[in-house]
Homo-oligomer: A and B are copies of this chain.
């Protein structure tokens, strides 16, 4: 049997958000490869070998997965969320392009998943209901100046914004600067949603005006959703408010 490589998205955390397509790929895998907490989400069974690795070794992990597929294994690379959004799919293709030519003949597929911003948006209401953008705030893989430029242009375009990886222990200063930039270009009442650990028992969704946002409201389990100038809050007595961006912009 010839090998295959399938790069799948496990969604944010809740198994009820894993698509049947991804479940089927996992059920027929011989080898599962990925970051430790994501591999841990795949149940053990006979015939399945799990290869868990630490964060920040994405290219090594990708080469390993490609090599196993070249050796005839049915390899599944797992990401949380969607594998094509700040996750493993691009890493695998970087390794593929730089690797031996015969890797290009492999049967490779990407299976989408529910990415964090869409799970978070659903819990908050519909803050991404009009044009929007997704920006990874980590400056591990790009310069800070480019992040700031993109934020300023996104606000000028009046996109709603989803910010991935807003803050980590290794990068405590970045999100401080992001909030400074946002306060420089947005009105103080602009709505911002901190969505932490979405679909887990620790889930917390908080929507506040930008002027009340503090850096410590975000961590690596948080996706931050910034509304456009049109985004609205619907208050509900005794229930969480609903945040949504209307479909229309009038002239």
Contact = CB atoms under 8 A, between A and B. Distances in A.
Interface string A119-134: 1011101111111111
Contacts of A153: 153-154, 156-157
A203 interface: no
Contacts of A131: 133-136, 150
A19 B21 contact: no
Nearest to A109: B122
Contacts of A146: 158, 249
Given A94-B247, A134-B132, A17 B19 contact: yes
Contacts of A96: 234, 242
Nearest to A134: B132
A249 B146 CA distance: 9
Q: Among A20, A96, A119, A122, find the residue whose CB has the most chain B CB atoms closer than 10 A.
A: A122
A89 B126 CA distance: 6
A83 B237 contact: no
Interface stretch (A34-42, A110-118, A177-185, A207-215): A110-118
Task: Describe A's contact surface by its main secondary structure.
Answer: mixed
A158 B157 CA distance: 13
Number of identical monomers bound together in the oligomeric complex: 2
A133 B133 contact: yes
A133 B154 contact: yes
B141 A248 contact: yes
A121 B112 contact: yes
A126 B110 contact: yes
Contacts of A123: 110
Given A118-B115, A122-B111, A157-B154, A90 B249 contact: no
A2 to B, nearest CB: 13
A69 interface: no
Contacts of A111: 122
A7 B239 CA distance: 18
In the A-B complex, the 9 residue pairs with the smallest Cβ-Cβ separation, listed nearest first, are A90-B129, A89-B126, A133-B133, A93-B244, A110-B122, A153-B157, A16-B21, A142-B249, A141-B248
21 contacts: A16-B19, A16-B20, A17-B19, A17-B21, A19-B19, A58-B247, A82-B122, A85-B129, A90-B130, A94-B244, A104-B237, A108-B242, A110-B125, A111-B122, A115-B118, A131-B150, A132-B133, A133-B154, A133-B157, A149-B157, A157-B157
